[in-house]
Amino acid sequence: MQHAGDYEIEDKGALLSRAARLGRPLWPAAIGAFVVAGLATLARLAGPLAVRAGIDQGIVDGDKRAVTIAALIYIGLLVIQYVLSVISRYGISWVGEQYLLQLRQTVFSHLMKMDMGFYSRSKSGVLVARMTSDIESLQEFAGDGAVMALTNILTVIGVALAMLFIDWQMALAVYLVIAVLLVATVIFQRYASRAYGEVRERIGAVLSGLQEGIAGVRVVQAFTQERSQASTFGRVNEAYYEANMSAARAISWYFPIISFLRVVAIAAVLVIGGIRVIDGTLSFGTVVAFLLYLDWFFQPLINLANVYNLLQSAMAALAKLFGLLDEEPAIQERPGAFDTELPVKGAVGFYDVAFGYEKDRQVIRGIDLEVPAGQRLAVVGETGAGKTTIAKLALRFYDPDEGSVSLDGADLKNLTESSRVDAVSLIPQDGFLFEGTLGDNIAFGAPDATEDDVWNVLRAMGIDDWVRSLPDGLETEVRERGGRFSAGERQLVALARAFLADPAVIVLDEATSNLDPETELEVEGALRVLLSGRTAIVIAHRLKSAERADRVIMIDDGEIIADGTHDELAETSPEYRHLVEVWERGSV
């Protein structure tokens, strides 16, 4: 059964059909590999016929020449099979790796387009599991399983037909044994399908718990909660163990059945074939050839059972990945969207805006606010009042449930994504840096910028001497998440990045709140240069940010309760005055 946003692993038809559509450009190469694998299988299947001829026409008749010819033909067939197998194996592996290359890129690109609501409800560990563990399951199948599956399926079909061609009576006896095996296989598939689906689900929970524990290890140790955290992870780990054991239980009874039925089939052929050889109705060479085919029949079945484990794991992973791809971003560019009019002035408007992260609970409501171009607006309020939500709506991380948010009079919903992003930029509380060079990080929002453009920005902000003092200047490696730099230096880079992008509107989540006083002065100086002539919406957590603003609004319980300059509100608004007193006591 298929559900919106997910594929049940039982729905293999829809899953495989979609997988095939995704890999359509690879079809010619896949068909070529399939044809070569088929020719390799034919070469192998012709081998027992050469053996039969060598026994019946050579050994039995005492003809050495016939024995030699049969041996040479058999060796030639093995050489042909080897060459074709090498080509087909490489071809199938190439197709599989190309498919995974495309799938990884598709999933990552899709994740980069998802809205903030998706990330707020999705565990990062589970998303990492989709891109690591699930892709690895597919890679394991593509690397070994696909080759083994194709060659063994072709072998089983070819051997079944060859046995029927050699002697239909012995073939029917073997087919009866195979019928029993097919029933066991159907039962195994149904049970293993559910088990492997559960395994893929549980591995995501394990990775999520592991990531959370490692990321929060300082907090865990600070509160001496190591045992408690280990116990929480232990429960998740135990569930993963149980899911794997469910799959193991299916395997434990299925493989012995295959081995047992193989022995039964060999015994049946020896009895039937031996009696007929004695009666003179069947040649000895035919019995030997049939036994070779029989061994080739059951060994591929055992291999396919092993491959089925990889296939089930891969199918479960594919279902999870397609379920992820089925998640539609809530924020999308509308048909007919248009660019902002140039030059962008930067006037921002909120008109009767209401919004909630959950349908039954509004975070803000009735927000009417106009921010003129070039104004520096501070948004203050207690934790949970709705300050950050105002910023997220201005950036169109979310769309309001009611009302509209506009830029220069145009509803953000009607603007093209590229023009909106060019016009409105975010500077977060902690400047995030990507692994790479300092220059790459500064030019992240303006990839077409030249090195001269970067240096002009650095000089304008007064931080060019700091960059020159670094070992490699702009080529300095920032390391993972900017670990080479202090918090203040990372924030300076974030400000330079925004300056180079040259937006008309900047949203700041208190860019100096985590800095020491000396570093704060340096960052504040760069910030003044950046904000000059630009509209700024500042989520203020401290008094200084409100004092520096042209205008302050106070949010309480999702509504604007005060609007004016800092001095005006300190005089006229009891709620704002109380907040100022709290700030002053905190600074003291």
Q: Which domains does the chain show, CATH number per domain?
A: 2-325 (1.20.1560.10), 375-380+422-587 (3.40.50.300)
Which tokens is 587 given?
Answer: 């600074």
pLDDT at 517 (0 to 100): 61
CB 349 within 8 A of CB 424: no
What pLDDT is attached to residue 5?
39
User: Running DSSP on this structure, what letter comes out for residue 358?
Assistant: B
CA distances from 340 to 216, 334, 407, 413, 416 (A): 43, 14, 8, 12, 8
At 20, which helix (H) or strand (E)?
Answer: helix 12-22
Two tokens at 283?
Answer: 């040649």
The CA distance from 291 to 266, in Å, is 7
Phi, psi of 416 (to 5 degrees): -65, 150
List per-residue pLDDT tens for the chain, 588 residues long: 333 334 455 567 788 788 888 888 888 988 898 899 889 888 988 888 888 888 888 887 788 888 889 899 989 999 998 999 899 888 888 888 888 888 888 888 888 888 877 887 777 777 877 887 788 878 777 766 777 788 888 888 888 888 888 888 888 888 888 888 888 877 877 777 777 777 767 877 787 777 777 777 777 776 677 787 788 888 888 888 888 888 788 778 877 888 888 888 888 888 888 888 888 888 888 888 888 888 787 778 777 777 777 777 788 888 888 888 888 888 888 898 999 988 899 999 999 999 998 888 889 999 999 999 999 999 998 888 888 899 999 999 999 999 999 999 999 999 998 899 889 988 877 777 888 888 888 888 888 888 898 898 888 888 888 889 888 888 888 876 666 777 778 888 888 888 888 889 999 876 665 565 666 676 777 778 888 889 999 998 878 888 888 999 999 989 999 999 999 999 999 999 988 888 877 654
Residue type, 78: L
Q: How many CA atoms lie within 13 A of 426 on its CB side?
A: 18
Cα(117)–Cα(397) distance, integer angstroms: 8
Nearest to 575 by CA among 585, 586, 563, 587: 563
Q: Which residues contact 371 (CB under 8 A, 6 or more apart)?
A: 347, 348, 349, 377, 535, 537, 551
Structure tokens at 422: 């060019």
Q: What's the pLDDT at 124?
A: 74
In whole angstroms, how far apart are CA 415 and each of 338, 352, 396, 405, 419?
5, 19, 11, 11, 7
In tens, the pLDDT along 388-415 reads: 899 999 999 999 999 999 999 999 999 9
Amino acid sitting at position 548: R
343 preceded by cis ω (within 30°)?
Answer: yes
Query: CA–CA distance from 275 to each of 265, 269, 270, 279 (Å)?
Result: 15, 10, 8, 6
C-alpha to C-alpha distance for 329 and 571, rounded to whole angstroms? 45
Residue reference for tokens 């319980």: 557
What is the spatial distance between Cα 80 and Cα 77, in angstroms, rounded to a whole number?
5
Using a cut of 0.75, tell me whether the model's pTM lies above it: no
Rg of the chain over CA atoms, in angstroms? 35
- The pLDDT value recorded for residue 588 is 45
Q: Which residues contact 248 (CB under 8 A, 6 or more apart)?
A: none
- The answer to whether 308 touches 192, Cβ cutoff 8 Å, is yes
**Measured distance CA(326)–CA(491) in Å, rounded:** 36
**Dihedral, CA of residue 173, residue 175, residue 177 and residue 178, to nearest 10:** 170
Partners of 535 in beta bridges: 505
User: Given CA atoms 120, 126, 128, 131 in this order, what sign does their dihedral have?
Assistant: negative
CB 36 within 8 A of CB 87: yes
**Spatial CA neighbour of 460 closest among 498, 430, 423:** 498
